[in-house]
Amino acid sequence: MPRLSQFGKVRQVGRRARVAKEAAEGAYIIGEGLSGGKYKGIVDCLKLREATGTMFDHILLKGIELGKP
């Protein structure tokens, strides 16, 4: 966390659920923020509404040339 603190205030968020996995908790936070709820500030800070493309846009496979069918 020390490396992140150069960009602003940082605090560690502890696990909230006893049975949910971290990915499920993260999905909840993003969904709640996108709907204007409690975590709206996180969504706004990450500029998630401005995001484009998909996760597959950043995966490169050896031997595959981009832009050719």
Cβ(4)–Cβ(10) under 8 Å?
Answer: yes
- For residue 40, tell me if it sits in a domain: yes
Q: Is pLDDT larger for residue 41 or for residue 67?
A: 41
- For residue 56, tell me if it sits in a domain: no
Q: Is pLDDT larger for residue 47 or for residue 55?
A: 47
- For residue 26, tell me if it sits in a domain: yes
Q: Does pTM top 0.85 for this prediction? A: no
Residue 37 lies in domain = 4-48
Proportion of the chain above pLDDT 90, given as a percent:
30
Q: Residue 67 — pLDDT band, cuts 50, 70, 90?
A: low
Question: Looking at the 3D structure of the chain, how many domains does it have?
Answer: 1
- For residue 18, tell me if it sits in a domain: yes
- For residue 35, tell me if it sits in a domain: yes
- For residue 43, tell me if it sits in a domain: yes
| Cβ within 8 Å of residue 30, ≥6 positions away | 39, 42, 43, 48
